[in-house]
Amino acid sequence: MDIHIAVLPGDGIGVEVVDAAMRVLYAVGDKFKHVIHAEFADVGWAAIDKHGTALPASTREICRRNQAILFGAVGLPERDKTLPQKDRPERVALLELRKGLFANLRHILLPPGLAGRCPLKMELIKSGIDIMIIRELTGGLYYGQPQRISGTAPHRQAVDTLPYSEPEINRILKIGFETARRRRRRLTSVDKANILATSQLWRELATAMGRQYPDIQLEHIYVDNASMQLLRRPSDFDVMVMENTFGDILSDEASMLAGSIGLVPSASLGEPDGSGKSAVPFYEPIHGSAPDIAGQNKANPVATILTVAMMLNYTFGLSQEASAIEKAAFKVLNAGKTLTGDLGGQATCSEVTAAIIAAL
Ligand code: IPM
Ligand code: MG
C-alpha cells in the first residue's frame, strides 16, 4: 500500500522524536511491503524563523494533500513570551491543524515491566492500567465566544464561554460507545452535571445513547471525583469520554499512570463533511517540546513511535502493522534495559529507537 503523510517535527524534542518514529515507520514499511511517501514541512518556531509565521501556507498545503499528519511539538516558552497570545505557535499552528478533528484519543497504557515507574502503590495497579481517554477537541471553552478581557485596570473583566450542541455531544459519545465495544465494554462519561448546563445536557444524551448499547456498562462520574478515582482505582477504567477542557486536564493526570508522559500517543480524528472529505487526521505525542533536553538525544521516542502505530491503525486500517510496533515497543520497555532518563534509564533516543526496530 502507498502511505502518504505530512511530517511536521516542529520545535524542541519534536525534531528527534519524529525522526525516531519515521525510522520505525520505514522499518515497518520494509517488513510489510508498504511504500512510505513523507513530505516534511515547517511548523512552530522552526516556521516562524523561516517564513514569519508558525503555520505557513506551504505547510497547510502539504497537510491538505496528504492522508495523515504526523506532528512533533510546537512552542518554546522563552520565545513564546515575546509574542502576543494570539500569535503563539500553539494557537496559530496546533489549534488550527486540529480544526474539524473533534475526537482526540489518548491511550494510557502502563507496560507491566514499568510498574515501578507508576507513582501509585503496587496493590492499586496490580490488575494493570489500560485507559483510552476520548477528549472532545473542537468545542467548549477553547473556541466558545465571547472570549476576551475588556475594560481598564483595576476593573477589567474576563470571559470565556462553554457552548456545546446536541450533535457535538452525540458524535463524541458515539465514538466513546463504539470504542468501548472494541475494548473491555466499559464507558465512563465524565461531566459536572451538578453545576454546568452543558454537563446536564451531556449526561441526558449519554444516558439515552446508553440504551442503544446495552452491552456497554455505562458509568457517569463528576470530573472532580474522576480525578480522584483515577488514582484510587485506575484499573477499573476502560474508555473515558469527556468535553475538551476536562479531557485536557484528566489526560495529563492519567499520563503519569503510564509511567511517563513520554509514553502517551494520541490521534485526532474527524468525520467526513458533506463533500465526503474530512479534515486530515492528526497524530501527535501528548508531551510538549521539552526545550531543556532538546537536541541532546535524551528524549523518549516511545510516545511518537506509538503515535505512528495509532496512525497505521486508524487512518490506514493496518492493524497488524500497528500491533507489530506496539509489541516491539512494549518488549523493549518491559525488558527494562534500554530506557531513557524519564524512565530511570540512561539510553539515548537513538538507542531506544534502534532497540524497537530490532524487536520488530
Ligand atoms: C494538549 C495541550 C494543548 C491543549 C495546548 C498546548 C493548547 O495542552 O494537547 O493537551 O490544551 O489542547
Ligand atoms: Mg494538555
Nearest to 281 by CA among 146, 50, 41, 102: 102
Angle between helices 319-335 and 349-359 (to 10 degrees): 120
Catalytic residue among 11, 42, 80, 248: 248
Average confidence (pLDDT) over 206-216? 98
Task: Specify whether the backbone of 100 is left (phi greater than 0), alpha (psi in -120 to 50) or beta.
Answer: left
Q: Which atom of ligand 1 is nearest to the CA of 266?
A: 9
pLDDT band of 334, cuts 50, 70, 90: very high
Predicted confidence (pLDDT) at residue 180 exceeds the cutoff of 90: yes
Residue ranges of domains in the chain: 1-118+259-360, 140-256
With a Cβ cut-off of 6 Å, ligand 1 is lined by 90, 94, 248
Average confidence (pLDDT) over 319-332? 98
Average confidence (pLDDT) over 177-201? 98
Q: Are 325 and 302 in contact (CB under 8 A)?
A: no
Cα separation, 25 vs 245, in Å, equals 32
What CATH code would you report for 1-118+259-360?
A: 3.40.718.10
Closest CA to ligand 1's atom 8: 248
pLDDT tens column, 72-96: 999 999 999 999 988 999 999 999 9
Report the pLDDT value the prediction gives residue 325, as an integer from 0 to 100. Answer: 98
Cα separation, 211 vs 62, in Å, equals 43
Q: 146: burial class by Cβ within 10 Å (0-12, 13-18, 19+)?
A: exposed
- pTM for this structure? 0.95
pLDDT tens column, 255-293: 999 999 999 999 999 987 666 677 899 999 999 999 999
Average confidence (pLDDT) over 109-135? 95
Task: Look up the CATH architecture of domain 140-256.
Answer: 3-Layer(aba) Sandwich (3.40)
Nearest to 144 by CA among 129, 122, 126, 159: 159
Nearest to 118 by CA among 348, 344, 357, 356: 344
**Known active-site residue 248:** yes
Cell of 65: 494533500
Report the pLDDT value the prediction gives residue 276, as an integer from 0 to 100. Answer: 64
Predicted confidence (pLDDT) at residue 235 exceeds the cutoff of 70: yes
Average confidence (pLDDT) over 198-222? 98
Predicted confidence (pLDDT) at residue 302 exceeds the cutoff of 90: yes
What type of residue is 265? P
